[in-house]
Structure 1
Amino acid sequence: MSQSHYSPLLLTLTTFLLFIISTSLPPTFAHAIPINTLVAPIHKHSPSSLYTLTLNFNSQYVIDLTTPTLWSSCPSNHPTTLCSSLQCAAAGPCQCTRLSGGGGDAGHYPCTCTAYRSAPTTDKCPYGDYLTLTLTPITIFVTDGKNPTVILSGPSVVSSCSTNNAIHPALPVGATGIIGLGNSQLNFPSQLSAQLKIQNQFAICLPSTTAAPGVAFFGSTKPFRLLPPDLPDLTTLLSYTPLIKNPKNPNGYYLDVEGILVNNQPVQFLERVLEFDCLGDGGVMISTAVSYTTLHSRVYRPFLKAFARATSRIQRVPKVKPFDLCLNSSKLGSTRMGYGIAQIDVMLKGGEKWTIFGRNSLVQAGPEAACLAFVDGGPRAEQAVVVGGYQLEDHLLVFDLDRSRLGFTGSLLGIRTGCASFNFTVGV
């Protein structure tokens, strides 16, 4: 993964300030007031370039768009879920093992439901590395779309926990676990929707800076306002495209992409690579766990040539790993959208397009090196394209789970704001 510049001290101060402010407000339970939307801060982490979401005032969970549940280390005396429960059935095949006890014949006492680190792709149970299904109580803020308003304390979500503390070797220091936002019945937003009777959708707005948090919403996203206060409701700026299913990876979010343009010219490659083959490989997936958009070699090589051709008059500088094309940043103009460079358009089904401008296409990888922020996934990459976190920053993304569609804005820099501009001052 790439490097970023996250400040643990800043995160500690931010969450501590939220805690101090919130203690002046009474805890609010789901049945006490109408609830439409919940809100939580998102921090960009260094050096992992992962993004963490804050729950329970100071618990940091790494955001993952493919993990099906929230998971962490098991606390002592944690509650468990029975194999006969509906929640266990939703966890997937082969999830039941007789692990609980207290004496007696293992065939007679109730068994404890288990899950796995990743969604199984066959009906065979993997060996070892089991995660116990448990319940995790949640404290989170309610919002009116402009500020946090009151605290919601009380809902418990079905989650997975590991008893051996080997949660994930790549988790950043200080992270409690992973918040599973993958497309499953037990993902965090779907459970909140079922318990609180709110809309089954969530929105993420990833910050491009470590100096201030971005924002996540669960439930309705209307209105959604960033500072300065004279900006329009951002939901009026959303375009929509279908989310499609990949049977090989049912928890992932995939886009129906029809082509890629560089400087308004089509990139020439075999377009069927963007579709799923008979094994479920191919397709275009969205991921916050990948730093930079990764392309299969059959897509990457012609894409790189097209971008090199569109920028042929700009001085090159030595490459900086893992990038293959770096430009002299002192020779580039600057705009509100980042470096003035050839734009990249991802053409989506239904006529919509996702335009990537300089801020999300080039990364400052050295004093004068502005590098194309896309990497070669190799000839054996399972997906044709994995859209990474860097390309998602400063865009509002709304995952409408009931309608299986993605709402997205263009770069928020174009309207003089960004994902780090939500007002986390607690309203009265």
Structure 2
Amino acid sequence: MLWVLKVLVTVLALISYEHEVIAAPFNPPYTSIVVPVTKRTDAAKPLYSIEIMTTYVNMRYLTANFLIDIDAPFIWHDCILQWNSFPGSCPANTLCTYPVSCEEYQCTDIRTTYSYKINPPFCPPVTNSSTLPGWGYCTCLVNVVNPVTGSCAQPLLNYDDFTANTSNGRNVFTSSYYGANPNAACAPSSTFQSFPATVTGVMAFSSSPYALPAYLYQPLKKSLALCLPSILSTPGVLFFGSGPYYLLPQSDVDVRSYLSFTPLLKHPGSFGYFIRVNSIVIRRRSIAIPTNLATKLSTIDPYTVLRTDIYNSMVQIISFYTIGVPRASPVAPFGLCFRTFTPFVLRVIPDIDLILPNGVKWTIYTSNSIIQISRDVACLAFVDGGASSEHAIVIGTYQLEDNFLEFSLENSTFGFSSSLLRQRTSCANFNFTLINSI
């Protein structure tokens, strides 16, 4: 009997310790988890990635780079499934994860409810015919779409483990980490040949219950804050947490003080983020947007895509206000280009105001509306999406660069700063200096 009591006391002590460990990340001094954001231009289109710690091997964390996708329903990346893991069984510098069986509820749930929206349905049907040697269960094939090529792939669902640094909003802590254990999917290395160099996965930040935010605990899951850099040499920043957030040189100014807010909308069949744009105003001219149309936010589309009627109206208005600026031949995918790009042109080209509900205004300045193509040519960085595009407006990453964005996952609101350059800072100004958290 005494032996039983000793065992019981030991178990209760372990449970108490485990609860303390779980609770610790939510106490001061850290308020968020933080990862650097890198701009990538070595693929078919500009993309943005984060670096995440994936597994702990030989006293150090292995890391992997993932594309940022705020629309993807779940995470998928380069890894292999291994049901009988033991020390030394996984190949060197390879991520091995445990499989999800096709008989488990997560498999059915993702396949039927939370899978990628594939239109047209060009993926072959998923089957339960594959297994792992010696395992005795069927693996769970799921469909995904390559964000670079648009092609279909069928990775295998798994149990995963990701780790990130913590932060107080000003710095990164050296010895304090936060871990999450999502369901993800393993694809072979060949699947990622079209991705930017060293990028071997897609990190889902959508509202899906299988995207990363759903696996975080409060208060870290309160909001996703994203700041895409406009330069290659210095990273931007991504936070999960409750804030505050600081960018140099204004080390005492919470970036949230720059934000305006608008409601996030649900859209049938999508786990991405949508807002309402009532009109687009360019100086005194307005382009009305039908009230039944939601505007999508994207980290995969490189430039804002407008339905043809909206695009033509914008080009017509900007052409009117830039009548004295010499034109250049259009450079795909852009339709309006200028010759002799000088400071004079910047002064002539008008700002573009997105008018949101309750009179809230998101201003797109020339730093986010005009793209330099060559020394002598610059273009309007909006593209024609066609007369029957699925979404009337999709706001792309060029328009999001150097804007501080906060997706409140608790209150379903979207905060935006407009260009931080107007505040004499940028997304590349987070201080990634490591400090001790004690």
Q: Same fold (TM over 0.5)?
A: yes
Match of 2:427 in 1: 419
Q: Secondary structure at the match of 2:314?
A: helix
Alpha carbons of structure 1 residues 358 and 47: separation in structure 2 relative to 1, 3 Å: same
Match of 1:333 in 2: 344
1:394 equivalent among 402, 408, 417: 402
Specify the code of the residue in structure 1 equivalent to 2:48.
Answer: Y
CA distance in 2, matches of 1:224, 1:264: 35
Q: Secondary structure at the match of 1:360?
A: helix
User: What per-residue deviation string (whole Å, max 9, x for no partner) do you get for residues 253-284 of structure 1?
Assistant: 111111111123202x6x32x634xxxxxx32
User: What per-residue deviation string (whole Å, max 9, x for no partner) do you get for residues 310-354 of structure 1?
Assistant: 2212232333222222223444338xxx76630101111222111
Match of 1:19 in 2: none
Specify the code of the residue in structure 2 equivalent to 1:233.
Answer: D
User: What per-residue deviation string (whole Å, max 9, x for no partner) do you get for residues 117-170 of structure 1?
Assistant: 159xxxxxxxx94332212221210000001114316432211222x4453564
Alpha carbons of structure 1 residues 252 and 169: separation in structure 2 relative to 1, 3 Å: farther
Alpha carbons of structure 1 residues 169 and 374: separation in structure 2 relative to 1, 3 Å: farther
Alpha carbons of structure 1 residues 155 and 227: separation in structure 2 relative to 1, 3 Å: same
Contact 2:66–2:203 (CA under 8 A) maintained in structure 1 = yes
Q: CA deviation at 1:363?
A: 0.5
Q: Secondary structure at the match of 2:180?
A: strand
Match of 2:86 in 1: none
Alpha carbons of structure 1 residues 154 and 38: separation in structure 2 relative to 1, 3 Å: closer
Q: CA deviation at 1:83?
A: 4.8
Match of 2:286 in 1: 266
What's the % identity of the aligned pairs? 32
Range 348-357 or range 153-162, more displaced: 153-162
2:224 equivalent among 193, 202, 225: 202
Match of 2:52 in 1: 55
Contact 1:79–1:134 (CA under 8 A) maintained in structure 2 = yes
Match of 1:319 in 2: 330
Q: Secondary structure at the match of 2:144?
A: coil
Contact 2:42–2:197 (CA under 8 A) maintained in structure 1 = no
Q: CA deviation at 1:76?
A: 4.5
Q: Secondary structure at the match of 1:300?
A: helix
1:238 equivalent among 229, 241, 259: 259
Alpha carbons of structure 1 residues 403 and 90: separation in structure 2 relative to 1, 3 Å: farther
User: What per-residue deviation string (whole Å, max 9, x for no partner) do you get for residues 187-241 of structure 1?
Assistant: 1122123xx6533321110000001000000121x21000014451111221111
Contact 2:321–2:348 (CA under 8 A) maintained in structure 1 = no
Contact 1:348–1:354 (CA under 8 A) maintained in structure 2 = yes
* 1:59-70 equivalent positions in 2, closer than 5 A: 59-70=64-75
Please report the RMSD computed on the Cα atoms of aligned residues, expressed in angstroms: 2.7
Q: CA deviation at 1:377?
A: 1.3
CA distance in 2, matches of 1:286, 1:53: 18
Q: Is it true that 1:38 corresponds to 2:60 in the alignment?
A: no
Match of 1:4 in 2: none
Q: CA deviation at 1:101?
A: 5.8
Q: Secondary structure at the match of 1:410?
A: strand
1:100 equivalent among 131, 135, 138: 131
Kindly name which structure, 1 or 2, has the bigger radius of gyration based on alpha carbons: 2
CA distance in 2, matches of 1:138, 1:103: 27
Match of 1:79 in 2: 98
Contact 1:140–1:152 (CA under 8 A) maintained in structure 2 = yes
Contact 2:207–2:213 (CA under 8 A) maintained in structure 1 = no
Match of 1:174 in 2: 198
Q: CA deviation at 1:179?
A: 0.5
- Unpaired runs of at least 5, structure 2: 1-19, 54-61, 83-96, 116-125, 147-151
1:223 equivalent among 234, 241, 244: 244
Match of 2:274 in 1: 254
Give the TM-score of the pair, scaled to structure 1. 0.79
Contact 2:266–2:273 (CA under 8 A) maintained in structure 1 = yes
Match of 2:181 in 1: 156
Alpha carbons of structure 1 residues 168 and 29: separation in structure 2 relative to 1, 3 Å: farther
Alpha carbons of structure 1 residues 414 and 197: separation in structure 2 relative to 1, 3 Å: closer
CA distance in 1, matches of 2:145, 2:339: 42
Q: Secondary structure at the match of 2:161?
A: strand
1:115 equivalent among 142, 154, 175: 142
Q: CA deviation at 1:114?
A: 3.9
CA distance in 1, matches of 2:425, 2:262: 24
Match of 2:314 in 1: 303
Q: Secondary structure at the match of 1:366?
A: coil
Contact 2:52–2:64 (CA under 8 A) maintained in structure 1 = yes
Q: Secondary structure at the match of 2:247?
A: coil
Match of 1:287 in 2: 298
Alpha carbons of structure 1 residues 90 and 149: separation in structure 2 relative to 1, 3 Å: farther
* 1:6-17 equivalent positions in 2, closer than 5 A: none
Contact 1:67–1:118 (CA under 8 A) maintained in structure 2 = no
- Unpaired runs of at least 5, structure 1: 1-27, 120-127, 277-282
Specify the code of the residue in structure 2 equivalent to 1:80.
Answer: P
Specify the code of the residue in structure 2 equivalent to 1:219.
Answer: G
Specify the code of the residue in structure 1 equivalent to 2:317.
Answer: A
Specify the code of the residue in structure 1 equivalent to 2:277.
Answer: V
Range 291-300 or range 339-348, more displaced: 339-348
Contact 1:324–1:372 (CA under 8 A) maintained in structure 2 = yes
Q: Is it true that 1:370 corresponds to 2:390 in the alignment?
A: no
CA distance in 1, matches of 2:329, 2:153: 43
Specify the code of the residue in structure 2 equivalent to 1:364.
Answer: Q
